[in-house]
Amino acid sequence: MKTIIHKILGTAFLLMAVLFSQKVFANAAQPGIWNAGGTVFTMLYPEDSATFKKVQMQQERIYIQLYKGFAVVKGTYLFRNTTDEALNFKMGYPVNGIYSGGDAELNQVTLDSLSQFKIRAKNKWLLLQEKPNREYDNIIAFSDNWKVWEMSFAPNESQTVEVYFIVNTNEAGVRSGYNKKRKNAFIYLLESGSVWHQPIEKGNFYVQLMDGLTPKDVQGLSSGFSFRYNEIHQLYSGTKTNFSPTPKDNLVATYYERNEHFVFDNALVQTENLFAKIDELSRMSLETLTYTKVAIGDPCEVETTFLGYLPMALTLFVIYAPFIIGIIVVAIIIWAIVKWNKIRRKKKGA
């Protein structure tokens, strides 16, 4: 009988150990990066989405300058009309909303921080319009308006499109289970490039540290770009070739600490100067620089803390405590009955 009691108690404690193990906590909440600054610049306006598969993004060159609290971005895209017909369509992006991308790990970008946006094609600045449209995969829109512009391609024509914008990176959080921390975070959601005729033949990605930032301030960069580092210009350089983007291709950077007193509007006052600096970067012969291998870290890594475990521990306790207590109570009752029977037999024997 003692063996049975021991087995019951052992099973109860084993269940507790399993329930409170690391594997249970690992997926307690959606892991990834929330509320990041960045871009889902798909150049897709849903009304003309059927046309997009006829246009190939042959190359893209993305320049990113990270500052304390924000990032400045310039994108240069080479598009080709793959058909023998003239194409006229609209491109655009939502004025504000949230784009939730990624797969096992969430990459959630706040769209309303896509500020000071401007676009140029055939060396002419394009006029931005506001058009109503809510429809788009993975985007929760907060208004009916999109920033929209007209595009025209002659048969088989190739042309270069350039975009500039500034994003707030100071409001992000990195989460793994119930463990989280506040960091600056920038995301370039390459997965959104799947709307074009595939594949994207080549992508060059440059991330430059500004505002006194050093590699020690960079928690992590996405690993799928083979990033190398140039110390003179504090510049990371990465590439991708012949790829059809999926969530694993997203470019994620987490860096520095969140500044509670940061005012994004103060950065926007410097827009002209900031765009001039990123133009300087884009005009450099970046391929000729000397780069070395450097540890880039995991942008989604979060240190495990007791407070991170506590919410799930309490939840599991509320759910399973009655069951575990019931097993313990049954074990005590069985023990009491066995004990009482032994005492009774001894009295009869006496």
The Cα–Cα gap between 81 and 158 comes to: 6
Looking at per-residue pLDDT, the higher value among 117 and 107 belongs to 117
Q: Name the nearest CA neighbour of 264 among 172, 339, 345, 200.
A: 172
Assess if residue 301 is contained within a domain.
no
Q: In this structure, is the dihedral angle defined by the CA atoms of residues 86, 194, 75 and 143, taken in order, positive or negative?
A: positive
109-120 per-position pLDDT tens digit: 656 656 788 889
Looking at per-residue pLDDT, the higher value among 116 and 278 belongs to 278
25 sits in which H/E element: helix 22-26
279-320 per-position pLDDT tens digit: 999 999 999 999 999 888 887 776 654 444 445 455 555 666
156 contact partners, CB below 8 Å, separation of at least 6: 80, 81, 82, 83, 84
Q: Which residues pair with 174 in a beta bridge?
A: 33, 181
Assess if residue 294 is contained within a domain.
no
Categorize the per-residue pLDDT at 334 as very low, low, confident or very high, splitting at 50, 70 and 90.
confident
User: Of 129-143, 299-313, 335-349, where does the model show the most confidence?
Assistant: 335-349
pLDDT at 36 over 80: no
Task: Please check whether residues 272 and 206 belong to one and the same domain.
Answer: yes
Assess if residue 69 is contained within a domain.
yes
Categorize the per-residue pLDDT at 183 as very low, low, confident or very high, splitting at 50, 70 and 90.
confident
245 contact partners, CB below 8 Å, separation of at least 6: 190, 191, 192, 193, 194, 200
Number of domains in the chain: 2
Looking at per-residue pLDDT, the higher value among 87 and 108 belongs to 87
Assess if residue 299 is contained within a domain.
no
Q: What is the structure's pLDDT at 317?
A: 56
Q: What is the structure's pLDDT at 26?
A: 33
pLDDT at 37 over 60: no
pLDDT at 260 over 80: yes
Question: Which of 261, 288, 315 finishes a domain?
Answer: 288
Assess if residue 284 is contained within a domain.
yes
Task: Please check whether residues 223 and 340 belong to one and the same domain.
Answer: no
Percent of all residues in the chain with a pLDDT value above 90, rounded to a whole number? 33
Amino acid identity, residue 179?
Answer: N
Q: Name the nearest CA neighbour of 103 among 190, 162, 170.
A: 190
Task: Please check whether residues 38 and 123 belong to one and the same domain.
Answer: yes
Question: Which of 288, 314, 339 finishes a domain?
Answer: 288
Q: What is the structure's pLDDT at 291?
A: 97
pLDDT at 85 over 70: yes
Q: What is the structure's pLDDT at 30?
A: 44
Assess if residue 204 is contained within a domain.
yes
Looking at per-residue pLDDT, the higher value among 170 and 321 belongs to 170
Alpha helices in 197-297 (DSSP H): 264-268, 271-283
Task: Please check whether residues 8 and 84 belong to one and the same domain.
Answer: no
Task: Please check whether residues 270 and 321 belong to one and the same domain.
Answer: no
Mean pLDDT of 66-72: 94
Kindly report the average pLDDT of the chain as a whole number: 77
Q: What is the structure's pLDDT at 109?
A: 62
Q: What is the structure's pLDDT at 316?
A: 54
Task: Please check whether residues 194 and 123 belong to one and the same domain.
Answer: yes
Task: Please check whether residues 64 and 204 belong to one and the same domain.
Answer: yes
Q: What is the structure's pLDDT at 51?
A: 84
Task: Please check whether residues 52 and 10 belong to one and the same domain.
Answer: no
Task: Please check whether residues 46 and 186 belong to one and the same domain.
Answer: yes
Question: Which of 255, 288, 321 finishes a domain?
Answer: 288
Q: Name the nearest CA neighbour of 70 among 271, 346, 224.
A: 271
For every residue of 51-98, DSSP letters joined together read: HHTTEEEEEEEEEEEE-SSEEEEEEEEEEEE-SSS-EEEEEEEESSEE
Task: Please check whether residues 103 and 143 belong to one and the same domain.
Answer: yes
Assess if residue 296 is contained within a domain.
no
At 240, which CATH number?
2.60.40.3680
pLDDT at 272 over 80: yes
Assess if residue 298 is contained within a domain.
no
Question: Domain span at residue 345?
Answer: 2-25+306-349
Task: Please check whether residues 321 and 230 belong to one and the same domain.
Answer: no
Q: pTM for this structure?
A: 0.73
Task: Please check whether residues 259 and 191 belong to one and the same domain.
Answer: yes
Categorize the per-residue pLDDT at 43 as very low, low, confident or very high, splitting at 50, 70 and 90.
low
